[in-house]
Amino acid sequence: MRIRRATGTDAPALSALALRSKAHWGYSAELLSLWSGELEISADFIHQNPVFVAEISGRVLGWTATVVHGEVAELEHLWIEPDQMRKGIGSALFAHARQEARSHGVKRFRVVSDPHAVVFYEKLGGTHVGEIASRPQGRKLPVLEIPIHEDR
């Protein structure tokens, strides 16, 4: 597996992968439509932020994106092809994002997690620090923080 920097031309494929990954958890077509804008990534976003792709033989298996705010980085996206989940790709992408963030002076990640991904982030060292409102009305998403240590 190779992890590389995303390019603007990757944007449509990465957006489609995010939608497939979200759909894997059984969300209705109505909810997926509601969230579709949040799952899209633009070429401009890719050019302005650290976005990385994991691939094998040219097949994109997953991707991640962060937005750095001083010592805190928001993990904006981490998506894996459904048939590639639980194969270590998400952990490898996160480790790569962690190393990249560390090189920019980041001390911790903040993650607004899908409820289905909480256990994954907890295994990476995440702790719950709150929750935020989401859509549809009444839905809340857990917020976790993951420290960036030298030994991870």
Domain boundaries, the chain: 2-147
**pLDDT tier at 149, thresholds 50, 70, 90:** confident
Q: Is residue 106 over pLDDT 60? A: yes
Average pLDDT, the chain: 94
Mean pLDDT confidence for 5-21: 97
125-146: string of b/e by CB count within 10 Å (b at 16+)? bbeeeeeeebeeeeeebbebbb
CA distances (Å), origin 43, targets 48, 49, 53, 92: 9, 10, 14, 23
Confidence of residue 151 (pLDDT cuts 50, 70, 90): very low
Is the pLDDT reported for residue 4 higher than 60? yes
Q: What is the pLDDT of residues 35-84, one digit of tens each?
A: 999 999 999 999 999 999 999 999 999 999 999 998 999 999 999 999 99
Q: Which CATH architecture has domain 2-147?
A: 3-Layer(aba) Sandwich (3.40)
152, pLDDT greater than 60 = no
